[in-house]
Amino acid sequence: MDLRPRRVMHIGVGSGVTVSALAPLCDELWAGDPSADTIAALRSWLCRDPEVAGRVELKVYHAFSLDALPFEHFDTVVVNASALGLSNEHAVLCLLHAVMPKLADRGAVYFTGLGNPRLLAYRNAVSRGSAGVRVPPIDPAFFAGLRTDVRGLSAVDVRLPRGSLQNPLARDRYDAVLYKQPVEPLPLAQVPTLRWHREVIDLAGMAALLGGPAPDRVRVVGVPDRWLLGVARTGRSRAACGVDPLEAVHLGERLGYRVLVTWSSSAVDHKVDLLFLHRQSADGHEPVELYQPAGGAR
């Protein structure tokens, strides 16, 4: 997550990893979870650092019962979808209707730990023989179409977090970021597009493109993820002759680009799209419309 938080609400704290990372960066952090045991364990951990603990308010509450929290107060809301067990689009929409009144103007809601249902075969392959973590199967296209369903919603972004790129066991995971009006977005729907194996053949060709007369922004579509491709071909979790998206991210960063990864809109589920944004043009703006669902947002 690319967060610059001051006043944060975190719903579904789970293991507490995100709380421990955010708390030192915030002026205040309100963290809640339906499990009293989870909150007790996190409170015990925070007691080790009184300075950080003084910024954190821990509560046991249901994700949809937020009436006691201040109105239009938070600049960032983090929703751990896996910890809450959000199992369908209706649950996500109900939670958003509860959260949006608590979010300040220009604030953002981050849904983490979502799973792409199109990659169910991949999830089954990598979790074979293990209970694993329950991943809510929410179609990314659902988030891309939410602007008409949620009052005050200005822009939406769907992206693959770096953590999922580093871990083949989490390749089906993604985050959704929803921005409240007004924001200064950097729309990516009309970015110049290059096709993998057509205009761009390999990472060396990508390096030549980005290292030449540098484009401000470019989208490379249909890049085969080597791990997803391996499952698509064999039914097992093994690497294939595709591309490791993390290598493309490192390449772009070395050449002065911010690189975002999202699902490809094609019907081929082992492919991703890469967005390269030159840092000079991207700084100070929130990238949106990264994910382009097939046929456009609903």
Q: Per-residue pLDDT tens for 38-75?
A: 889 888 888 888 888 888 988 887 766 788 889 999 99
Q: Which of 60, 75, 52, 50 is nearest to 13 (CA)?
A: 60
190-213 average pLDDT score: 89
Question: Computed from CA positions of residues 191, 192, 196, 201, in that sequence, does the dihedral angle turn out positive or negative?
Answer: negative
Residue 275 or residue 240, greater confidence? 275
Q: How confident is the model at residue 21 (pLDDT cuts 50, 70, 90)?
A: confident
The confidence score (pLDDT) of residue 15 equals 79
CA-based radius of gyration for the chain: 19
Q: Which pLDDT score, from 0 to 100, does residue 25 have?
A: 86
Strands 28-33 and 56-60 come out as parallel
Amino acid at 62: H
Question: Which pLDDT score is estimated for 2?
Answer: 59
User: Chain-centre distance of CA 73, in angstroms?
Assistant: 23
pTM of full prediction above 0.75: yes
Q: Is the pLDDT of residue 121 over 80?
A: no
